[in-house]
């Protein structure tokens, strides 16, 4: 009877402890509920909310989830500690009793863990959505800013270095935030479309590419049709005449690429947007845009996705093929894309980095498939590596994937 009396008293005390921990479970449950309420509308907000606001909301949501998770973890520790300090003589009976009394608390904690996992997943998706939109908007800002830069470069007849010097007002070799925003505040942002009635050379001079990149692709040595439909080799044509002839053909055959203009039409170069772009352009830990980063903004490169022809002119039908483009090779854009009038193909004048060949390539095929993928305008060596004249087929690849011929092990 003494054992039963003491056991009954110990069970009553243990029930009081379970009730106290139950209050902690209630508070943790409310904290999780607040986090759930926070994440519930995130999916719909992600379609319309400005990206900076999305990122701020994602930060506050993650903090709220972290607070709820911390409260749940503290409560879990208190539940686990309910069986601590039991008298050895009565421990077996009390643990059996405790398992029954705390069962509902354990069930609630299990559901709480699932709810927190769901809230975390929703917040993670929202942050991913914000990141994707941020990259898309930054890319749109970059394209728009690059076209304004090239437009003003062409308008003033500046080289790349001269344009950089125009932005680098204090001449310290870097472009500060104030210099960057100040240039665009004063720049001519009304990027004019090429005059379709322009005379020879106007498209080459009036396109979106930098001045020093020269005119359109050359046509020297291309065949011309005679009256009997046969093609004969034309004589060598002076470079100036080649460029004028090609520019004239381009001006008649092409119009500006409307898709890109429509994509960027709503991405106005506001001070806030330019500040975002500036922060994106600066290197980690830097406070200004380097010359290298500026040239990456100014120029455009393309990666060939599917092999196609590099032609001498903007119109595939009125120009000759210079060579085949190979999948994976890199091209430098020499002016903004144009829509070829007769075929509707999106065409761009490029320079192949492999051999320096200049000509026109097709961005998208007749069925809308991408043939070239656009990227930023310069390639950067991330670390020092040997430049080999060729890779020997029999040589094993370096263990670190850096390439180059490897010696025998």
Question: In Å, how far are 86, 90, 102, 136, 283 from 6, measured between CA atoms?
Answer: 12, 9, 21, 70, 72
- Number of domains within the chain: 3
Band (383; pLDDT cuts 50, 70, 90): low
Q: Do residues 276 and 357 share a domain?
A: no
Q: What confidence score (pLDDT) does residue 388 get?
A: 67
Q: Residue 206: pLDDT above 70?
A: no
Q: Do residues 163 and 286 share a domain?
A: yes
Band (409; pLDDT cuts 50, 70, 90): very low
Question: In Å, how far are 202, 249, 250 from 244, measured between CA atoms?
Answer: 9, 9, 10
Give the tens place of pLDDT for each residue, 233-263. 433 333 444 443 443 443 333 333 333 333 3
Q: Do residues 2 and 108 share a domain?
A: yes
Q: Do residues 294 and 318 share a domain?
A: no
- Count the neighbouring beta carbons within 10 Å of the beta carbon of residue 184: 21
Q: Do residues 283 and 322 share a domain?
A: no
Cα Rg of the chain, angstroms: 33
| Phi, psi dihedral angles at 282 (to 5 degrees) | -70, 145
Q: Is residue 263 a part of any domain in this protein?
A: no
Q: Do residues 2 and 56 share a domain?
A: yes
Q: Is residue 282 a part of any domain in this protein?
A: yes
Mean pLDDT confidence for 304-324: 88
Structure tokens at 186: 């004063």
Could you tell me the CATH number of the domain that includes residue 294?
Answer: 1.10.238.10
Q: What confidence score (pLDDT) does residue 369 get?
A: 83
Q: Is residue 359 a part of any domain in this protein?
A: yes
Asked if residues 175 and 219 have their Cβ atoms less than 8 Å apart, the reply is no
Q: Do residues 89 and 170 share a domain?
A: no
Q: How far is 254 from 268, CA to CA, in rounded Å?
A: 26
Place of tokens 């690849």: 397
Q: What is the C-alpha end-to-end distance of the chain, expressed in Å?
A: 83
Q: Do residues 162 and 293 share a domain?
A: yes
Q: Is residue 335 a part of any domain in this protein?
A: yes
Q: 93-117 burial, b for 16+ CB within 10 Å, e for fewer?
A: ebeebbeebbeebeebbeebeebbe
Give the tens place of pLDDT for each residue, 29-81. 999 999 999 999 998 888 889 988 999 999 999 999 999 999 999 999 999 88
Percent of the chain clearing pLDDT 70 (strictly above): 74
Asked if residues 341 and 249 have their Cβ atoms less than 8 Å apart, the reply is no
Mean pLDDT confidence for 165-182: 93
Q: What confidence score (pLDDT) does residue 119 get?
A: 96
Domain coverage including residue 327: 299-375
CA dihedral 314, 316, 322, 328 (to 10 degrees): 90
Render 106-175 in DSSP notation, one character per residue.
HHHHHHHHHHHHHHHHHHHHHHHHHHHHHHHHHHHHHHHHHHHHHHHHHHHT--HHHHHHHH-TT-SSSB
Band (317; pLDDT cuts 50, 70, 90): confident
333 - beta bridge partners?
A: 300, 350
Question: In Å, how far are 68, 165, 218, 243 from 238, measured between CA atoms?
Answer: 76, 34, 10, 9
Q: Is residue 402 a part of any domain in this protein?
A: no
Q: How far is 247 from 147, CA to CA, in rounded Å?
A: 20
Q: Is residue 46 a part of any domain in this protein?
A: yes
How many CA atoms within 13 Å lie on the side-chain side of 85? 6
Q: Is residue 229 a part of any domain in this protein?
A: no
Question: In Å, how far are 208, 210, 350 from 144, measured between CA atoms?
Answer: 12, 15, 19
Band (387; pLDDT cuts 50, 70, 90): low
Q: Do residues 280 and 319 share a domain?
A: no
Maximum CA extent, the chain: 124
Band (339; pLDDT cuts 50, 70, 90): confident
Mean pLDDT confidence for 359-382: 76
Q: Average pLDDT over the chain, rounded to whole?
A: 77
Highest mean pLDDT among 116-130, 150-164, 220-234 belongs to 116-130
Q: What confidence score (pLDDT) does residue 379 get?
A: 55
Q: Do residues 56 and 181 share a domain?
A: no
Place of tokens 């830990």: 285
Q: Is residue 396 a part of any domain in this protein?
A: no
Highest mean pLDDT among 92-106, 219-233, 327-341 belongs to 92-106
Percent of the chain clearing pLDDT 90 (strictly above): 35
Q: Do residues 99 and 123 share a domain?
A: yes
Give the tens place of pLDDT for each residue, 125-163. 999 999 999 988 888 888 889 889 988 988 899 999 999
Q: Do residues 166 and 289 share a domain?
A: yes
Q: How far is 178 from 196, CA to CA, in rounded Å?
A: 37
Could you tell me the CATH number of the domain that includes residue 356?
Answer: 2.30.30.40
Band (299; pLDDT cuts 50, 70, 90): confident
């Amino acid at each position: 009877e003494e054992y039963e009396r003491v056991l009954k008293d110990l069970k009553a005390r243990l029930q009081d402890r379970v009730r106290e921990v139950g209050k902690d479970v209630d508070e943790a449950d409310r904290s999780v509920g607040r986090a759930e309420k926070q994440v519930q509308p995130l999916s719909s907000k992600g379609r319309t909310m400005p990206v900076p606001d999305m990122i701020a909301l994602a930060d506050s949501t993650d903090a709220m989830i972290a607070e709820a998770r911390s409260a749940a973890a503290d409560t879990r520790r208190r539940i686990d500690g309910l069986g601590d300090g039991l008298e050895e003589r009565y421990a077996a009976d009390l643990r059996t009793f405790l398992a029954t009394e705390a069962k509902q608390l354990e069930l609630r904690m299990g559901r709480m863990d699932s709810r927190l996992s769901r809230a975390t997943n929703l917040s993670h998706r929202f942050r991913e959505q914000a990141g994707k939109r941020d990259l898309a908007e930054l890319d749109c800002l970059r394209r728009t800013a690059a076209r304004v830069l090239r437009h003003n470069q062409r308008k003033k007849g500046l080289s790349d270095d001269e344009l950089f010097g125009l932005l680098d007002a204090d001449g310290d070799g870097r472009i500060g935030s104030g210099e960057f925003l100040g240039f665009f505040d004063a720049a001519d942002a009304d990027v004019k479309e090429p005059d379709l009635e322009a005379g020879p050379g106007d498209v080459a001079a009036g396109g979106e590419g930098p001045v020093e990149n020269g005119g359109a692709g050359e046509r020297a040595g291309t065949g011309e049709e005679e009256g009997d439909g046969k093609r004969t080799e034309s004589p060598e044509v002076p470079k100036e005449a080649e460029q004028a002839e090609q520019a004239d053909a381009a001006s008649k055959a092409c119009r500006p690429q409307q898709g890109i203009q429509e994509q960027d039409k709503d991405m106005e170069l506001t001070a806030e947007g330019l500040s975002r772009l500036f922060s994106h352009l600066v290197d980690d830990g830097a406070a200004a845009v380097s010359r290298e980063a500026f040239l990456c903004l100014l120029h455009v490169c393309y990666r060939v996705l599917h092999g196609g022809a590099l032609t001498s002119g903007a119109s595939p039908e009125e120009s000759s093929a210079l060579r085949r483009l190979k999948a994976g090779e890199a091209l430098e854009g020499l002016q903004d894309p144009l829509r070829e009038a007769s075929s509707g193909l999106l065409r761009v004048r490029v320079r192949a980095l492999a051999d320096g060949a200049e000509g026109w390539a097709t961005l998208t095929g007749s069925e809308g498939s991408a043939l070239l993928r656009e990227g930023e305008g310069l390639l950067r060596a991330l670390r020092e590596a040997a430049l080999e004249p060729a890779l020997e087929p029999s040589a094993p690849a370096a263990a670190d994937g850096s390439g180059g011929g490897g010696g025998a092990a």
